[in-house]
Amino acid sequence: MSEPGFRKFSLFPKTLGACVEPLTRPALKAQGLAGSKILTEWASIVGPMLAQHSLPEHLSFPRGKKTGGTLVISTENGFATHIQHMQAVILERLASYFGYQAISRITISHSWVPPVADKPQKALKAALPKGSHALTEGVDDPELRETLASLARALAGETA
C-alpha cells in the first residue's frame, strides 16, 4: 500500500533522456557498455572535437572487477593517430567521469560509421535532359503523352 498523498507518477514531464535511458540500458549492457551514460555523455567526457570523430564501442572489465577496464573506441581511419596520442588525456577524463580509475586501457577500432546527419546531401541530377518532352511526340494517346511529358519535366527538374 502506498502512503496517503504519495504519488507514483510525476505531474511534470520527464526529459527524453530520462525516458530512453531505462529502455536502452539492457541493449547497451549486452554490447558491453556497462555505463550506458558513457555513450550519451561521450561529447562532454572527451570534448566536442574528439566526439565528432569517435564513439565508444565496447567497455569490458576483468571478471568480477570494476577497475582495469578496456574501452574500445571506434574512430575514423585518419583520426586514429590523434586518438592514440590523446589516450592519456582520454583516460584522465574517463577517470574523472567515473570518479575512479575504472578504465586503464584504450583500444582503437577502425569500424567507424559516421552518423547519418553528417553525410553531405548530394544534389539530385536530372535524369533526363531539359526539353525531353520531345521524346513523347511519337505517342498517339494525348492523355498518355501529357502524363509522360509531365513525368519528363519532373525528372528534369523543370517547373510546370
Contacts of 112 (CB under 8 A, 6+ apart): 53, 54, 55, 74, 75, 76, 77
State the Cα torsion 18-24-25-27 to the nearest 10°. Answer: 180
Could you give the angle at the alpha carbon of 97 between the alpha carbons of 92 and 99, nearest 5°? 90
Contacts of 49 (CB under 8 A, 6+ apart): none
Q: What is the pLDDT of residue 121?
A: 52
Task: Give the H or E element holding residue 25.
Answer: helix 16-31
- The alpha helices in 9-73, defined as continuous H runs, are 16-31, 37-40, 42-46, 48-53
Contacts of 157 (CB under 8 A, 6+ apart): 124, 126, 130
- 33-69 tens-digit pLDDT: 555 678 778 888 899 988 888 988 888 888 888 788 8
Q: What is the mean pLDDT of residues 6-34?
A: 66
- 121-144 tens-digit pLDDT: 555 454 455 555 566 777 888 888
Q: What is the pLDDT of residue 130?
A: 55
pLDDT range class, residue 147, cuts 50, 70, 90: confident
Amino acid at the residue 134: A
Cα–Cα distance for residue pair 28/68, rounded to 1 Å? 20
Q: What is the pLDDT of residue 93?
A: 92
Q: Is 61 helix (H, G, I), strand (E, B) or coil?
A: coil
Amino acid at the residue 49: M
Q: How many CB atoms lie within 10 A of CB 33?
A: 22
Q: What is the mean pLDDT of residues 146-153?
A: 78
Q: What is the pLDDT of residue 137?
A: 74
Q: Give percent of the chain above pLDDT 70.
A: 68
